[in-house]
Amino acid sequence: MHEVRFNPLINQWIIVAKHRAVRPWRPEEKQTSFQCPFCPGAPELKHLDKWDVVVLPNKYPALIPNPPSVEQEEFSLYTKREARGIAEVVVETPSHEGDLYTLSLDHAVRVVEAYRSEVLKLSSLDFIEYVAVFRNKGKEIGVSLTHPHSQIYALPFIPPRIKQEIYRI
């Protein structure tokens, strides 16, 4: 289910993506034979010979470019709309260990250049209102895979906090 709902109690749009509950959850903690999807040789990357930064579609996206239509329920507390947008993953290095701050300066610049390129591309789409680049750290915040990566969400709306900051300038 991909859906965006307007919550009148907090006056903002909420992304609902129930299917994300089935994504791999920190498999290295479970002692499985799991292969990291961001390490060289993984099926998601086998089409690439050599890389140092790569942008991939999110395998478990909260937003998709062509979502199914949503039906408004007659007595619903909230308004619904299609979860149209784009969710990408930026794999920052082939190395499973490390972090953005452990990369060389040249490599970190290539990561930032990948962000810039994607933000320019995604923000030019007519259904996109806001593009967010972010990194999560730790399982407490919801990081399901530990391989160094960031995410890019191209949203069909401007988040309220961002809108408030824009109008304060």
Mean model confidence pLDDT for the chain: 83
Would you say the C-alpha torsion 24, 26, 32, 34 has a positive or negative sign?
A: positive
How many Å apart are CA 25 and CA 56, to the nearest integer? 19
Give the angle subtended at the CA of 19 by the CAs of 14 and 23, to the nearest 5°.
115
The residue from 2, 19, 147, 149 that is catalytic is 149
Would you state the pLDDT for residue 31? 47
- Residue 96, SS3 per DSSP: coil
Is a pLDDT exceeding 60 seen at residue 38? yes
Predicted confidence (pLDDT) per residue in 142-158, tens digit? 666 788 899 999 998 89
Terminus-to-terminus CA distance in the chain, angstroms? 37
Predicted confidence (pLDDT) per residue in 68-78, tens digit? 787 767 666 67
Q: Does the reported pTM lie above 0.85?
A: no
Whether 19 is a known active-site residue: answer no
Domain boundaries, the chain: 29-65+84-168
Q: What is the CATH number of domain 29-65+84-168?
A: 3.30.428.10
Could you identify the residue written with the tokens 């009148």? Answer: 8
